[in-house]
Structure 1
Amino acid sequence: MHPPEMRARARALRARGHDIRSVARSLSLPYTTVWHWCVDRPEPAVFGSAVRCFRCRPDQDDPPDQAAYAYLLGLYLGDGHMVTTDRTPVLRIYCADAWPNLIGQCDTAMRAVLANKVQHIQKRGCVAVQSTARHWPCLFPQHGPGRKHERPIVLTEWQRTIVEPQAGDFLRGLFHSDGCRFANQVTVRGKRYVYPRYMFHNESTDIMGLCQWALDLLGIAWRMNRRNSLSVARREAVAALDRHVGPKS
């Protein structure tokens, strides 16, 4: 955690007209850290026992449940959306009706990370699992206008610090949202073979890159079978991913 005086200096420089990049350079800080202080949360947070946001508490550096945060981040990057135009931000994850267990896992992760209350809104063919909380934008700075594949999606330094040791949970969120495990069938010289295979599909090259990065951290072999589709098919790679991802149902 940076001392409060550093945050105050950054905000003072910004108030005098300096842009984010020049403030970061002058204070030897990451660009994303200064952006969070001066743009995403320009006013000092009000602390107290009711504040659960680990980014806004001076006594807490990381989420109390890092695995839950990594999992929820994966879900958000896949099928998540954040509404910040209302008075209080809303984090919304869309879960297909076909996977009722996924709905429960998403609900549990939201509560472990920040939410005091989670709503399930039935939509056509899916359920929107959502929570209203003022501090969701602090925890998911990837939010922004437009579709995710039309804007940069980059993890901040503090997010990478959390996700790296929890790469398996992060992948579980990604594959539970935009991935699947199925029985692939091939015929070779007239003989039919059936074997399990994972697929991950996303239009964002940045999110696809994060999936590749997490797989590499765990030593799981993958290949791109299409521009927007990744495959994990080797027997040992599928077995390794099974240990982390598990059933989606």
Structure 2
Amino acid sequence: MANKLVIGNWKMNGSRQSNTEFLSKFLAPLDQLENVDVAVCPPAIYLEQLAGLVVQSPIHLGAQNLSESEQGAFTGEISGSMLRDFGCHYVLVGHSERRSLNGETNALVAAKFKAALNAGLTPVLCVGETLDQRHDGETLNVVNDQLQAVLDAVGVQELGKGVIAYEPVWAIGTGETATPQQAQEVHQHIRRYIAEISPEVARTTRILYGGSVKGDNAAELFSQPDIDGGLVGGASLDAHSFLSICRAGQSRQL
């Protein structure tokens, strides 16, 4: 069975010094963990530094974004092949902050998912609803639309080569967290939605929860039957906090 997966999204945080200090505290105890996969997604400018620091460690390197294009006159963009060149394994696509702050549409996110696969990366597809959408009872419809755009672009087998992260937008960086039961309800729905096309892909696809995951709630979240790990924001910037979340992930294999 697959391990739990815990990914730290550092967002626009870090420095060469703080990155080194974080890993000096994190790497040694991480070696003692079993049955959990760990990745960190630093700002792109620090990928080369971290690639050197995590070599021969169990940490996978990830990026926070990529271009839907492979190359060309796209000033400021970074392609999937460039990320692979720096040792990336994962890349986030469709994070709620990219959708809300940068206007990324479902179609654009699907194109980025496809570009990541073409570059040999594992895309982490972020889906989730806003507070207004939840209050309006639109949570599952919003998630369906976000999933369907990728299914239409690449098909279910290719979707299964990625990871899905359910992140209720109202619980990101707010201190609010969906209850384990609320999170499980959406995770179960996602798995059933995929199972309507391919039960096998639904069974093997890892679905993470993202939304103020912390050391004191990770174990209960990860104990839910359809929650396969976490996409961690602020808590991943502190070595002790992130390690406690990773420890929660090793308690049960999928």
What TM-score, normalized by structure 1, do the two folds share? 0.28
> Which structure features the higher share of strand residues?
1
Q: Which has the higher contact order (CA 8 A, sep 6+)?
A: 2
